[in-house]
Amino acid sequence: MEPTQVDKLGNRFEMAIEMALRLHKSLVRKTREIPYLAHLLAVTALVLQDGGSEDEAIAALLHDAPEDQGGIETLTLIQEKFGKNVFQIVEACSDTFDVPKPEWRPRKEAHLEEVKKASSSVHRVIAADKLHNARSLLRDLKEYGNLLWEKFNGGKEGSIWYLQSMHEILTEKHPGYLTDELGKVLKEIENFAN
């Protein structure tokens, strides 16, 4: 009998959950007092629902860890604990490890160019991340209105541009449910934001 998706999640996945909890347990989302871990778990669920591997699920749990919690040092720790494949996915999901971060628009433009060349595993994790971010953004827009854009470095125009640009790349590189759903949520955001 072939192993099920659940059977593929072993001790490494448990270690990744513990690491994500340890690194992010005191953090909350940008617009609400929701534990940041909720985002990481939601992205991981989307990756698994999309047929993702254990490495992709681990990368989903840790995709924001280096950027938000320790930079290259955290990325090196991820490689030591989870291997080169997880390291490469997490590295490609981050647009910078620099502190302070470079200017927003050029950094996002450079990241989009890198995503075009990334692996299918990176595309899956990014699609799940952007879908969950877009869903959260839409929910918050409905509650807070356009004042919400003040919390985002790119503002309304930049944030929508970035999500649209990422959606265009993913439409080509990772077609399917995650990307289709991202497109639908983006249309709702655009309609609501006008």
Place of tokens 């934001």: 193
Helix (H) or strand (E) holding 137: helix 120-144
182: domain CATH number is: 1.10.3210.10
Distance, CA of 4 to CA of 14 (rounded, Å): 17
pLDDT over 60 at 113, yes or no: yes
Q: In this predicted model, what pLDDT tens digit does every residue of 36-77 receive, in sequence order?
A: 999 999 999 999 999 999 999 999 999 999 988 889 999 999
Distance, CA of 147 to CA of 156 (rounded, Å): 10
Residue 123: band (very low, low, confident or very high) from pLDDT cuts 50, 70, 90: very high
Alpha-carbon dihedral 163, 122, 105, 72, rounded to 10 degrees: 140
Contact 63, 111 (CB under 8 A): no
In-domain check, residue 15:
yes
- Boundaries of domain holding 62: 6-193
In-domain check, residue 1:
no
Number of domains into which the chain is organized: 1
In-domain check, residue 171:
yes
